[in-house]
Structure 1
Amino acid sequence: MSTKLIIDTDPGVDDAFALALAAHSDDVDLLGVTSVFGNVGLAATTRNARRVLALCKRGDVPVAEGAARPLVHPHPHVAKYAHGADGLSGRAAALPEPERDVENGGAVRLLADLLESSAEPVTIAAIGPLTNVATLLAARPDLHDRIDRVVIMGGALLHGNTSAAAEFNIWSDPEAAARVLGGGEVPCVLVPMDLTYRCAVSTEWLDALASSGPVGAALTALTPDYLAHYRKALGWDGMVIHDAVAVAEAIRPGILTAEALPVSVETSFGPARGATVVDQRRPELRAETEVPGGGSTARVAVDTDLDALRVFLLDRLTLR
């Protein structure tokens, strides 16, 4: 049985890997892609998504343009320091030209149309800021039961990457994240950076991908700026493909080990803005000290077989 999948994304180098992973998986019915602001501005993320799909010869997949800014407050900056000025290490133009026009009506309309027309519940892989998904949940409560689950790359249990407390995707629109994770309207799987960092790939892994064929070579050609950033972040010669880890879970449920835990998002303007507060205490203790606003329960990915996951990613990305 194939997974019915929609990807909401802000490409971004790791988003490009995630899109290719889904596009190359025979057990995935990739229904559509929606873009959102984030790693770079909306025009660039939309164009990058369409170019990656063209690289994967998936002109059949519709792409719609989503939110250009957060729900409430302005977005302070984008992630050019990691992804380069165009989101793909300055090499977006090396990818093929898009094969298909952007869909009319925007991201929320496409999300709603795809959910309405699917005979089976659909998984949404949300690998950028959660603005589009939050808007969908607010505007179309009649479609909640059409969503199998939302797999979210975002959040951090220990420390952030954009601030000391917050991971980039959640920090980019904390109000949207609070709506999606705190609303209790659809099942959510949160894939935090604590785990995605542990899944980092080496330059040897990238060399194997580059030598696998034209798609692998094109993907690895997008990584120089990203690699330079992660050499500093990791302290060794490798990089983190956060979003591909989340899409792996969307494709193969259970490839990541997850626990049901209360999750809250900090929306104040203090130093913890955008932090995900995950209550990892034993259930017995949580029950004794329960307080209002303790967070809705999400499944939080905490572990995986690291070697097996890297093999899974490489095998899927090297398909011709």
Structure 2
Amino acid sequence: MRRKIIIDTDPGQDDAAAIMLALASPELHVLAITAVAGNVPLARTSLNASIVLEICGRPDIPVYAGCERPLRRQLVTAEHVHGKTGLDGIELFEPAVARQAGHAVDFIIDTIRSEPEAAVTLCALGPLTNIATALEFAPDIAGRLAEIVLMGGGYFEGGNITPAAEFNIFVDPEAAAIVFASGVKLTMMPLDVTHKVLTTAARCARLRSVGNRPAIAMAGMLAFFERFDEEKYGTDGGPLHDPTVIAWLLRPDLFTGRQCNVEIETVSELTRGATVVDWWRVTGRPANAFVAGDIDADGFFDLFIERVARL
């Protein structure tokens, strides 16, 4: 049985990598891409999703634009990382297929209600605004979802947009708090894992050598994307965050982790968006998420490159 997924995303070069990995994997049935404001504003994230689908030869997959700002805050974006377009590093174009007219939140709700119980997994690659809004408008969908797998947060690694917070959670901490309190089965890919998945020169050379259109495009995107983190962290390459979400669905054996209680800081301006992960189980609070702690990085890149070669 192919797992049915909705990819909720704010592309972003690493989001594009996650979309490519999902499209190249026969184990997954991508029902749609739902766009949210995050790395760049909504008009750009929805356009970028369509561009990636066209690069991969899959314009048949619908794209729905969703929330253009966080639930209770002004939008913070990350052009300093991803470039003005969000997909800097390649020559972009106007995709042939227009985005769908409906709203992403309505699509999420209607699809989860119309599919059999536990048939749909939400793959959250950006701020959790669309998903939290859907859960608030339609609380019944929480009991119908198979799982939410999300990239966000950190614990021992700290933050990447503030000392305490990872970008996706920082942008809309109130949305994250709703999702982590929802009772839905959650899997969290934090910076502690994604910072071990580095786009080294050797790995990018392997990817480029695949030679097909998606691989060449992704190699170009990563050449731009990694320059920020290389300068920031002094590493060979940058962390490829979002494809870890898709890799979890395909190869959970690549990961280790544990069930934890995760709470979201929404009040303090100093630590806004921090994910308070009870890794050592010192609070007595019940676990609400599986938190990944480590990854086989070589195995991940073997999977990613092999699958992109199929596109």
Is 1:89–1:223's contact at 8 Å kept on the other side of the alignment? no
SS at match of 1:308: helix
SS at match of 2:291: strand
SS at match of 1:249: helix
Provide the C-alpha distance between the structure 1 equivalents of 2:100 and 2:140, rounded to a whole number of angstroms: 23
Give the stretch that moved more between structures: 138-147 or 39-48. Answer: 138-147
Structure 2 unaligned regions, length at least 5: none
1:144 alignment counterpart: 142
Give the stretch that moved more between structures: 23-32 or 115-124. Answer: 115-124
1:18 alignment counterpart: 18
Is 1:55–1:96's contact at 8 Å kept on the other side of the alignment? no
Q: Deviations over 1:33-87 (max 9, x none)?
A: 1000111111111100010001111112111001110001112x31111100110
Give the stretch that moved more between structures: 251-260 or 219-228. Answer: 251-260
Give 1:90 shift: 5.6
Structure 1 unaligned regions, length at least 5: none
Q: What TM-score do the two structures reach when normalised by structure 2?
A: 0.94
Provide the C-alpha distance between the structure 2 equivalents of 1:317 and 1:239, rounded to a whole number of angstroms: 19
Is 1:13–1:87's contact at 8 Å kept on the other side of the alignment? yes
2:60 alignment counterpart: 60
Give 1:211 shift: 1.6
Give 1:95 shift: 4.2
Provide the C-alpha distance between the structure 2 equivalents of 1:67 and 1:134, rounded to a whole number of angstroms: 10
Is 2:198–2:236's contact at 8 Å kept on the other side of the alignment? no
Is 1:123–1:147's contact at 8 Å kept on the other side of the alignment? yes
Give the stretch that moved more between structures: 235-244 or 108-117. Answer: 108-117
Is 2:187–2:290's contact at 8 Å kept on the other side of the alignment? yes
1:277 alignment counterpart: 276
2:228 alignment counterpart: 229
Is 1:35–1:46's contact at 8 Å kept on the other side of the alignment? yes
1:312 alignment counterpart: 303
Structure 1 residue 118 and structure 2 residue 109: aligned? no
Give 1:149 shift: 0.4
Q: What amino acid is the match of 1:29?
A: H
SS at match of 2:130: helix
Provide the C-alpha distance between the structure 1 equivalents of 2:199 and 2:74, rounded to a whole number of angstroms: 33
Percent identical pairs in the alignment equals 39
Give 1:234 shift: 3.1
2:34 alignment counterpart: 34
Provide the C-alpha distance between the structure 2 equivalents of 1:226 and 1:295, rounded to a whole number of angstroms: 38
Provide the C-alpha distance between the structure 1 equivalents of 2:10 and 2:271, rounded to a whole number of angstroms: 23
Q: What amino acid is the match of 1:109?
A: D
Q: What amino acid is the match of 1:233?
A: K
1:263 alignment counterpart: 262
Q: What TM-score do the two structures reach when normalised by structure 1?
A: 0.91
Give the stretch that moved more between structures: 15-24 or 134-143. Answer: 134-143
Structure 1 residue 3 and structure 2 residue 35: aligned? no
2:166 alignment counterpart: 167
Give the stretch that moved more between structures: 299-308 or 157-166. Answer: 299-308
Is 1:88–1:223's contact at 8 Å kept on the other side of the alignment? no
Q: What amino acid is the match of 1:300?
A: V
Is 1:8–1:33's contact at 8 Å kept on the other side of the alignment? yes
1:78 alignment counterpart: 77
Provide the C-alpha distance between the structure 2 equivalents of 1:101 and 1:115, rounded to a whole number of angstroms: 23
> How many aligned residue pairs are there?
308
Provide the C-alpha distance between the structure 2 equivalents of 1:264 and 1:239, rounded to a whole number of angstroms: 27
SS at match of 2:242: helix
Is 1:157–1:277's contact at 8 Å kept on the other side of the alignment? yes
Give 1:295 shift: 6.9
SS at match of 1:223: helix
Is 2:71–2:172's contact at 8 Å kept on the other side of the alignment? yes
- Structure-to-structure mapping, 1:102-113, within 5 angstroms: 102-113=99-110
Provide the C-alpha distance between the structure 1 equivalents of 2:38 and 2:133, rounded to a whole number of angstroms: 16
